[in-house]
Amino acid sequence: MVIRATGRVTRVLKRALPQGFRGVYKINIVGSTGAGKTAFLRCLLGDLFEPRTEAPRRSKTENEVDSTHTWFRIGKPEKESTTTISLNTAGILFVRTLYNSIEFHPVQMVDSLLLRDDIEEIWQLVFFDNAGQERFDFMPQLTMRGSDAVIILADGTNMSSIEKVSYYLDLVREEEYRASDGMFKIPILVLINKADLLDRGCFIGLNSVRHMIGSDPNYDYSETSMVTGDGVHDSVRILVSRLRENAIEN
Ligand SMILES: Nc1nc2c(ncn2[C@@H]2O[C@H](COP(=O)(O)OP(=O)(O)OP(=O)(O)O)[C@@H](O)[C@H]2O)c(=O)[nH]1
Ligand SMILES: [Mg+2]
């Protein structure tokens, strides 16, 4: 299991790479059901991510947000889509090389990574992929505790999903107050997903979303597509640079 492996891997990295090892970070991924949280990790990590808690998506058992869900509207067969019914986690090593390329590796690869001489830095990231259906709204409330960064995903073709971003922003604020009386800001990345559906005329662009939700120096916005992969690696680079800034400030 990912979390159990963390102890040894962290110790090895600390010892072998005192300058280049940046630490262990919990990244909490939240967003309404169907926004693309699980698809994001699949797109980012490929075979390194194995979601274990998926069930076929059935709109009648779900809620208001789902009734305008993309597959439903663009006529994709229902059986092709799944929904997360518990929590998926994925622990990985995020590597930035001397040539500024980024790579993802399983934590078990730590020993072979340390043999390389082109590594600038290694981050140990643990992603939490929450279940987004409303009946699981208790879950992000629990997993928010101890988050070092939060990714809020919204289905950019679904107004209800975009409106729910403010709800998750409030949860992050509550955690900032719980953890440090609001002294330390948790970096937030808001991803407006399904940009590939722009051609079908159902994608609400970033500018309108920014207008609806508002801007804040503590969060970054990006448009993404888990189908084309656009914006996915860039968003993780942004997140990691925010974590780096936070580490320097604190
Ligand atoms: N066209 C398009 N479809 C996407 C994109 N991202 C995800 N999807 C589709 O949207 C559906 C929902 O994606 P998931 O990743 O399961 O959504 P989720 O946020 O994990 O949803 P829950 O697990 O229910 O909370 C799936 O059918 C995906 O194939 C995207 O960028 N473009
Ligand atoms: Mg999911």
In the chain, the domains with their CATH numbers are 2-249 (3.40.50.300)
Output 56 or 132, whichever has higher pLDDT: 132
Going from the Cα of 119 to the center of ligand 1, the distance in angstroms, rounded, reads: 33
Statement: residue 235 has pLDDT above 50: yes
Phi, psi at residue 119, to the nearest 5°?
A: -100, 125
Regarding the beta carbon of 232 and ligand 1, being less than 6 Å apart is answered no
Residue 198: pLDDT above 90?
A: no
Q: Look at residue 6 and tell me whether its pLDDT is greater than 70.
A: no
Question: Which range is least confidently modeled, 60-69, 121-130, 173-182?
Answer: 60-69
More confident residue, 79 or 246: 246
How many Å is the maximal CA-CA distance in the chain?
Answer: 54
Q: Regarding beta strands 102-106 and 82-84, do their DSSP bridges make them parallel or antiparallel, or are they unpaired? A: unpaired
Establish whether residue 161 lines the binding site of ligand 1, counting it when its CB lies within 6 angstroms of any ligand atom. Answer: no
Ligand 1 pocket: which of 28, 32, 37, 130 to mutate (most atoms <8 Å of CB)? 37
- Contacts for 185 with CB less than 8 Å, ≥ 6 apart: 176, 218, 246
Higher pLDDT among residues 106 and 60, named by residue: 106
Minimum mean pLDDT range among 41-45, 137-141, 157-161, 229-233:
157-161
Average pLDDT over residues 8-19: 89
Would the CB of 227 count as within 6 Å of ligand 1?
yes
- Those residues whose C-beta lies under 8 Å from the C-beta of residue 173, and which sit 6 or more positions away, are 182
In the predicted structure, residue 2 carries a pLDDT above the cut 90: no
The first and second tokens of residue 172, run together, are 């992050």
Higher pLDDT, 60 or 185: 185
The rounded distance, in Å, linking the Cα atoms of 207 and 219 is 15
Average pLDDT over residues 220-231: 95
| Residue 171 Cβ < 6 Å to ligand 1 | no
pLDDT at 172 over 70: yes
For residue 96, what are the contacts with CB-CB under 8 A and spacing of at least 6?
102, 119, 120, 121, 123, 240
pLDDT at 7 over 70: yes
The per-residue pLDDT for 67 is 47
The whole-number pLDDT of residue 71 equals 53
The answer on pLDDT for 202 being more than 90 is no
Q: Please tell me the distance from the alpha carbon of residue 37 to that of residue 27, in angstroms, as a whole number.
A: 12
> Measured between alpha carbons, how far is 131 from 129 in angstroms, rounded to an integer?
7
Q: What angle do CA 193, 137, 87 make, to 5 degrees?
A: 75
Q: Residue 217 — very low, low, confident or very high, per pLDDT cuts 50/70/90?
A: confident
Residue 53 dihedral angles phi and psi, to the nearest 5°:
-125, 45
Quick check: CB of 88 below 6 Å from ligand 1? Answer: no
Give yes or no for residue 240 having a pLDDT over 80: yes
Note the pLDDT tens digit of each residue in 25-79: 999 999 999 899 999 999 999 988 888 887 877 665 555 555 455 555 555 555 5
Average pLDDT, the chain: 87
